[in-house]
Amino acid sequence: MKITFLGTSGANAYPEAFCDCHNCEQARSLGGSSLRKRSSILVNDDLLIDLGPDIMPAAQIHGVPLTNVQYCIQTHPHADHLDVSHFISRSPILGVKNAPRLQFFASEETLQRAAETFLRDIWDQDLLSPELQESLNLSTHTLQAYSPTPIGSYTITAFPANHAPGLGARVYAIESNGSRFFYGTDTGVFFEETWQSFRDLNMKFDMVVLDHSFGLTNSGTFHMNAKEVIEHFARFKQEGLLNPGARTFATHIAHDANPVHPELVSFASHYGYEIAYDGLTLEI
Ligand SMILES: [Zn+2]
Ligand SMILES: [Zn+2]
Ligand SMILES: [Zn+2]
C-alpha cells in the first residue's frame, strides 16, 4: 500500500493562523515540514481516511489529485476531520466530471451527525436519502466495530476510539495485499477491548500511526501525549503486534504542545518513533 499524509495537524492547523506562540512563530519562519494542515490520509489513490476541511489545498500543494477516490472511511464527525460541504463540492451538481461514486463508511452516530450538519449548513435535504445520494454520486454505509469488512481491495476493521463520547468515533486497521496498518487519531489511551480484539483477530501491523495532540507538555482525555504514545508503541511491541521492520508514526500534532518538526523528530527518534508530516508518502 502507498500511504500519503495529506494533513498532520491538530484541530486548528500548525501554525494556527491567529496564534503568535513560540511554536507557531518558529513554524512560520521554518516552513516546510513544520507547516501542517488538518489531518487526513490517502491510501493508494482510491481510499481516503477523513473527508477533512483541508483536503482541497492538500491535493493542490502535494500534487495528489483525489480523482480516483472511491472509498472514504470517516473517523468521526468533528469539523477538523469532516467538512460536509465536500459531499456537494465533489458531486456533478457542482460540475465535477467522472468522479467514481463515493462509498462513504462511518459509524451510525457519525452518519447521523453528518446528516444533521449537512441539513443545517449546506442544503435542506436528507443526506441519508437514496434520492439525494443519487444526485451527489454518493452511497453511505454503516461500519460495525470489531468486524473486518471487505471494502474494494481492502479489509477494514473499525475499533471504538476513546474520543468524542456519543459520536461513534472510530480508529481503523486497514489491510491490503498482505500488509496492514493502524490509523489511530483522534483517540485517548486505547480501551482494553481494542487490545483484546487485536489478539482475537490475530492482527499484526506494518505501520502504526497514533494521536500526538498533547505532545511534550500537555495531558488530558480523548487525545494522547508523547508519554502515552511511547507506552502504546511499547505495548504493540511487547504483545507481538508489529511485523519485523514495522514503522511507528505520530500525527495530529497540535501547535500548543509540540515543537516544530525538526525538534519533534529529534525528540521522537530518541524513543524510536517517527513524526508524520504533510506530503509524506511511504510504501508498506
Ligand atoms: Zn482532530
Ligand atoms: Zn501557536
Ligand atoms: Zn476529534
Domain containing residue 262: CATH number: 3.60.15.10
Please give all residues whose CB falls under 5 A of ion ligand 2, grouped by chain where several chains appear: 16, 19, 21, 24, 255
Write out the H or E segment, with its range, that includes residue 139: strand 138-142
pLDDT at 282: 98
At 176, the amino acid letter reads S
CA of 227 to the centre of ligand 3 (A): 20
CA of 129 to the centre of ligand 2 (A): 41
CA of 233 to the centre of ligand 2 (A): 27
Q: Tens digit of pLDDT for each residue in 7-36?
A: 999 999 999 999 999 999 999 999 999 999
**pTM of this prediction?**
0.97
Strands 281-283 and 274-275: what pairing? unpaired
Quickly state the pLDDT bin for 259 (edges 50, 70, 90).
Answer: very high
- For residues 144-160, average pLDDT: 98
* Coil, strand or helix at 271: coil
- For residues 112-125, average pLDDT: 97
Exposed/middle/buried for residue 247 (C-beta within 10 Å: 0-12, 13-18, 19+): middle
CA of 214 to the centre of ligand 2 (A): 13
pLDDT at 50: 98
pLDDT at 155: 98
The β-bridge partners of 158 are: 145, 172
Q: Tens digit of pLDDT for each residue in 42-101?
A: 999 999 999 999 999 999 999 999 999 999 999 999 999 999 999 999 999 999 999 999
- Residue with the three cell numbers 473527508: 51
Write out the H or E segment, with its range, that includes residue 180: strand 179-184
How many C-beta neighbours within 10 Å does residue 226 have?
22
Look at the chain and report how many structural domains it folds into: 1
CA of 206 to the centre of ligand 2 (A): 33
* Coil, strand or helix at 33: helix
Closest ligand to the CA of 256: 2
Minimal CA–CA distance to 83: which of 129, 40, 42, 132? 40
CA of 11 to the centre of ligand 3 (A): 7
CA of 8 to the centre of ligand 1 (A): 10
State which residues form the domain around 268. Answer: 2-283
